[in-house]
Amino acid sequence: MPSQLPHLLESALLAILHPRATYLRVSASLDLRLCVRLENMRRAGLFKEITHVLDAGANVGAFSCACARMIPSAEIISFEPTPLTFKTLVSATKGYSEIKPVNLALGGARSTLPMNVGEFHVANSLLRMNSNHQENWPGSEPSDVVMVSVIPLDEFLEQEKIRGNYLIKADVQRYELELLKGAKESLKRCHLLQLEVSLVALYEGAPSVSELWSYVSAAGFSLFDIVDILYSPINGAALSCDLIFIRQ
C-alpha cells in the first residue's frame, strides 16, 4: 500500500499556503483540496460568468457546499437519486439557501431504473461494479437495489425554466456518458465540465476514457486539468480521476 506520508505533508503545505481554504475546512468541514482547487479557479477568473452549478451525483453535498462558498453568486442544483443518501444531502445543505437538492438521476432518457446501493454509498451506481472494484475495495459491493427516477438534464432545465451559464460536475459512477447524451443543449451553455472517469474497468458496460473524451471534444471542450487521482490500495496503480474541461 502506498505511504500516507506524502498525502499528510501535502495537506500541511496546502493548509499553510491557502488560509481561506483552511478556514473553510475547519469552520465548515469542507474538503481542503477541493476548496484549494476551487479557490485557484476562482482567482483565475473561471467562475466569472457561471450562474448555475449543476452537481450530478451530489452524494452528501461536499462539492455543492464548497461551490456555495467559492461561487456565492451561483445557484446550485444538487442531483442525488438514492433516497437514503438524498436525505443526508438535504440535511447537509440546509444551511445553504443557494443549494437546491433534487431527488433524481440524470441520463439519456426519462425512465425508472434499478440503482445498485450499499453501505459504501459513494459507489452506488446504475451500473454493476465488477471484480476490479470489489478487489480494491472489499465490502464495497451493493447489498440492495432501489428504483430511481431518471430524467435528461435538458428536459429538467427546460421544465424548471432554468437558463444561464453552467458548471456541470458529474460523478455518477460511470454513467457519465448517458448523462451527457441527455444534456446536448445544456452543454452548449456549459463553460466548465468536470467528469469522473475510470482508468481501468470498474463497472460493467462503462464507457472508456477515450469514448468520453471524444464525446466531450466533439461538444467543443478541451482539457483544463486532471485532479483527484484515486490509486489502488493494493498496488498503487491509478484507477480513476476527475477530468476538468473548459469550453474552447
pLDDT tens per residue across span 34-90: 999 999 999 999 999 999 999 999 999 999 999 999 999 999 999 999 999 999 999
- φ/ψ region of 220 (left if φ > 0, alpha if ψ in -120 to 50, else beta) reads left
Of the CA atoms within 13 Å of residue 143, those in its CB half-sphere come to 7
Nearest residue to 202 (alpha-carbon basis) of 148, 127, 144, 142? 127
| C-beta of residue 184 within 8 angstroms of C-beta of residue 215 | no
- CATH homologous superfamily of 5-229+241-247: Vaccinia Virus protein VP39 (3.40.50.150)
DSSP annotation of 122: G
79-105 tens-digit pLDDT = 999 999 999 999 999 999 999 999 999
Task: Note the pTM of the prediction, 2 decimals.
Answer: 0.92
